[in-house]
Amino acid sequence: VLEDQALLAENKCKLAEEHSAELMRGKEEKEVLAKALEMQMQELARARQADALRSSREIESATLEDMKARKSAEDALESERSVRKEAQHQLQLVQLQLTQAQARIEQLEASVALGVERERQVEHRAARAESQVSEVRSTNVSLLAKVSGLEMMAS
């Protein structure tokens, strides 16, 4: 019985040692797995950080490009406004020149009308003068005839 108990105790001891060895192996495996998991988590954290940095740079680049595009659009708009303002100024100058030209044309037309009126008056005066000259000639012819008649009578 003692031998059986000794054998049983020895078997229990071996089982306890085997169980202890399995527990140690399990503990070592857990540590290895825990280290592997920790390394994977660190690697994932680095990957996330790299992704976040890349995204930040992409956003920054896109924002910079947007700012450049906006600045370019603002410059183009300012240039267009300047061109429009200059065109409006040129249009006002042309309109002023046109108004001045129309006023000058009206002055010239009035001057021509005045010249035509004066020419008509001169022609009228010339016709009256010719009529008067004709009357004077007629009177002269009549007077010459009378003088001739008187001279003939006197002789």
What pLDDT tens digit does each residue of the chain (155 aa) get? 778 888 888 888 899 999 999 999 999 999 999 999 999 999 999 999 999 999 888 888 888 888 899 999 999 999 999 999 999 999 999 999 999 999 999 999 999 999 999 999 999 999 999 999 999 999 999 999 999 998 888 87
Q: How far apart are CA 17 and CA 7, in angstroms?
A: 15
DSSP 17-46: HHHHHHHHHHHHHHHHHHHHHHHHHHHHHH
DSSP 68-91: HHHHHHHHHHHHHHHHHHHHHHHH
Q: What is the pTM of this model?
A: 0.42
